[in-house]
C-alpha cells in the first residue's frame, strides 16, 4: 500500500471505528450514551469549573445546539445543572452534580475493564505511537478548521 492508500485506509478506518466504538460504548450503560459520557468528561476536564455550553461544544466538536440538547437530557436525569451566568443571562454554565459523580464512581470498574479490552495487545510503544498520531491529526484538524473559518469570513 502506498501513502495515499494508507491515508485513505486510516481516514475510513477512523470513521468506521468511531461508529463501532459508539455502538459498543452505548451498550456499556443504559443510562448514559457514549456521546453524553464524552460531554461529561469534557466538563470535568475543562479549565473552568463550570464551562459554558459554547465552550464545551468547542472542546467536544459538537454544535452548540447538540450540546444544549444533550445537556438538557442530562439535566433531567440529574447529572448536570445548567445555571445562568452571573454576568450575562444569555449564557448558561454547565455544572456536574453530586449525583453524576456518585453514578460514575459505580461505573469505574466496568469502564476500566472496557479500556483493558479495547487496548488488549497494545504495548507501550504502540500506545505511544497511536497517541502521537491522533494528537497530530487533531492539530491538523484544528489548522484546517481555522483556515475554513478564515475563508468563510472572506
Residue with cell 468547542: 58
Q: Quote the pTM value.
A: 0.83
Q: Is the pLDDT of residue 154 over 80?
A: no
Residue 151: its pLDDT value, please?
Answer: 82
- Ramachandran area for residue 38 (φ above 0: left; ψ -120 to 50: alpha; else beta): alpha
Report the pLDDT averaged over residues 12-31: 93
One DSSP character per residue, 42-98 reads: HHHH-SSSS-BHHHHHHHHT--HHHHHHHHHHHHHTTSEEEEE-SS-TT-EEEEE-H
Percent of the chain with pLDDT over 70: 100
The string of pLDDT tens digits covering residues 40-93 is 999 999 888 899 999 999 999 899 999 999 999 999 999 999 999 889 888 999
Residue 112: its pLDDT value, please?
Answer: 94
Could you tell me the pLDDT band of residue 153, with boundaries at 50, 70 and 90? confident
Amino acid at each position: 500500500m502506498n501513502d495515499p492508500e494508507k491515508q485513505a485506509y486510516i481516514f475510513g478506518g477512523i470513521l468506521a471505528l468511531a461508529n463501532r466504538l459508539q455502538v459498543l460504548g452505548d451498550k456499556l450503560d443504559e443510562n448514559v450514551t457514549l456521546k453524553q459520557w464524552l460531554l461529561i468528561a469534557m466538563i470535568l476536564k475543562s479549565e473552568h469549573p463550570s464551562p459554558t455550553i459554547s465552550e464545551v461544544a468547542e472542546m467536544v466538536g459538537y454544535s452548540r445546539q447538540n450540546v444544549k440538547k444533550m445537556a438538557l437530557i442530562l439535566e433531567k436525569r440529574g447529572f448536570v445543572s445548567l445555571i445562568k451566568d452571573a454576568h450575562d443571562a444569555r449564557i448558561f454554565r454547565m455544572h456536574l452534580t453530586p449525583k453524576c459523580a456518585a453514578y460514575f464512581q459505580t461505573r469505574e470498574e466496568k469502564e476500566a475493564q472496557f479500556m483493558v479490552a479495547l487496548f488488549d495487545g497494545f504495548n507501550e510503544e504502540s500506545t505511544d505511537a497511536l497517541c502521537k498520531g491522533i494528537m497530530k491529526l487533531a492539530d491538523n484538524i484544528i489548522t484546517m478548521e481555522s483556515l475554513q473559518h478564515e475563508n468563510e469570513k472572506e
